[in-house]
Amino acid sequence: MSLLTPKPTPYDPLVWSKLPFGERGRQVCEAWALDGYGTPFAIYAVHALKIALYIAGWIGFCSFTPGLGSISHLGDWWLSPIAFEKAILWSLLFEGLGLGCGFGPLTGRYFPPVGGALYFLRPGTTKLALRPTWPVIGGIRRSWLDVLVYLAIVGCVVRALVAAAPGRSELVPLVALIPLMGILDRTAFLAMRAEHYGTVIVCLAFAGNWIAGAMAVQLALWFWAGVSKLNHHFPTVVCVMTSNSPCTRFGWLRRRMYRAYPTDLRPSRFAELLSHAGTALELSVAMVFLLVHGTTGLVVGIALALALHGFITSNVPMGVPLEWNVMAVYSVFALFWAHPEVTVLDVGQPIVSAFLVTVLIGVPLLGNLFPARISFLLAMRYYAGNWPYSVWLFRGDSHRKLEQLTKPAPWVYDQLDRFYERPVSIGLVGKVIAFRLMHLQGRALPQLIPKAVDDLTNYEYLDGEIIAGLALGWNFGDGHLHQEALLAAIQAQCGFLPGELRCVFVESQPLGRKTMAYRIHDAATGLLEAGTVDVPAMRTHQPWERSAA
């Protein structure tokens, strides 16, 4: 295997693609358990280089502030408040351009490897407005208004980054424009990671003590990420991530993550123990920084945070939120270590405090209780394995109708054909099926796909994440981006005939409940079936097996 060639599948992809779904699922899951996605080693080098460029960009923008930006004196200025402000602003810009989460092959984006600005700056591309039927601010295709608002955000962020000391005159326009972007286009809003960086910018602009506000945001990220893992989904995340990590390429270790490879690919007790430890670690980071004061508490909190984010980053998870994890580690030092005298109670402005209570407590709580209503990003349910998702099934070559969309990226196999022979491309895309099935939530698919189509061999199976990347220019695990709203927008532009495109939409499991809701749609005729699947029943069978429940 060369640096640019994926690890071959242990089966013939052309033969595999014609098998019944259950057998297809069994083979691809067995392959994932030992080889993961089979990612070429060079891809990891690209991400390492991208992190270096991300840090270099921050240093470059810091140099616009007198006394900051000198690499030789980095230790003197890297924890200064202005350096942190610029890190937040630069991170929002980096993500909003499409260079962070959702970049590259690990998100099903091969050529071009970036979406983001290639879509957000192009009129006519597909968008997801908060209210598609409303005039001016609605619609399903990006207008010049959408482009100009996005461009204004980019311009305002750059203006703040090159300022010696960003103040309200630079920040207030962002406080107004980012929510407006959320109304015009949910995709661009989420791509900017507004739930994190946008909230901190509000604190920078209006809080009496913005350090306290930024601390509150960071604590909420850790706390709710931990809460979201208090379920039976997270052990499967540990299995899938370990099988794909560039740092755990040991067959004995990967086998140990499962009960009895290859016959039983449910999480082993060892994997479950690791998942519980990870959940406890994430919650402990928040609790230690919130409740334990003094040097000892700081050192313990920093050690826990470094262990948490170091583990995540070293695994290079699908979706690649690597720069976001780098920013989280930097926040540990720039906020908690540099300002031990500050607490979250020092925000100082009642209105800002009420805002933070709403977005850091109210929204995540509702997002866990009613996940169908709120994006998993806004609910801070990060990498818990309990996400909404979808599967899109195209009959024959009907997927060619997607070429009617305005988009820089071609059909996924056309992207891969630039680099590989078709069997290799089929093997790569097919691995996405394993990624979905091996998570607990994906075990609903053997039960749901036969409800959607009579014979899967007549259909092209594609995960909704890849469809979102093609049509919207960004995807990062939020299945709400590729559910009914996107289907309606695509159908309006492509006109699929009855039976040509079927979609299976599955929601997250609400906190405290035992079922997950699903809906099956035909692009032309609408809803075909809706119901729920039983999560405890899915735990009893293999990823490729149909539940007896």
pLDDT tens string 256-267: 999 999 999 999
**Percent of the chain whose predicted confidence (pLDDT) is above 90:** 90
98 torsion bin: left (phi>0), alpha (psi -120 to 50), beta (else) = left
Confidence of residue 201 (pLDDT cuts 50, 70, 90): very high
Confidence of residue 548 (pLDDT cuts 50, 70, 90): low
Please give the structure tokens belonging to residue 481.
């981006």
**Which pLDDT score is estimated for 1?**
42
**Which pLDDT score is estimated for 210?**
97
pLDDT surpasses 70 at 441: yes
pLDDT surpasses 60 at 185: yes
- Look up residue 5 and give its amino acid: T
pLDDT one-digit tens code per residue, 32-82: 999 999 888 888 999 999 999 999 999 999 999 999 999 999 999 999 999
Mean pLDDT of 275-302: 94
CB 178 within 8 A of CB 198: yes
Q: Where are the domains of the chain?
A: 389-538
Rounded Cα gap, residues 99 and 324, in angstroms: 11
Mean pLDDT of 214-241: 95
pLDDT surpasses 50 at 368: yes
What is the 3-state composition of the chain as percent helix, strand, coil, each rounded to the nearest 5? 55, 10, 35
Cis peptide before 262 (omega within 30 of 0): yes
pLDDT surpasses 80 at 549: no
CA distances from 163 to 157, 521, 536 (A): 10, 50, 55
pLDDT surpasses 70 at 3: no
pLDDT surpasses 90 at 122: yes
pLDDT surpasses 70 at 146: yes
**Which pLDDT score is estimated for 371?**
95
CB 90 within 8 A of CB 64: no
Confidence of residue 5 (pLDDT cuts 50, 70, 90): confident
**Which pLDDT score is estimated for 383?**
87
Rounded Cα gap, residues 420 and 436, in angstroms: 23
pLDDT surpasses 50 at 214: yes
End-to-end CA distance of the chain: 43
Rounded Cα gap, residues 481 and 470, in angstroms: 12
Which has the minimum average pLDDT: 36-45, 217-226, 396-405?
A: 36-45
Rounded Cα gap, residues 10 and 27, in angstroms: 8
**Which pLDDT score is estimated for 392?**
98
Side-chain half-sphere of 419: how many Cα atoms within 13 Å?
19
pLDDT surpasses 50 at 474: yes
Q: From the centroid of its chain, how far is CA 45?
A: 21
Which letter, b or e, does each residue of 295-320 get, where b requires 16 or more Cβ atoms within 10 Å of its Cβ?
eebbebbbebbeebbebbbebbbbbb
Nearest one of 249, 278, 277, 255 to 267, comparing CA atoms: 255
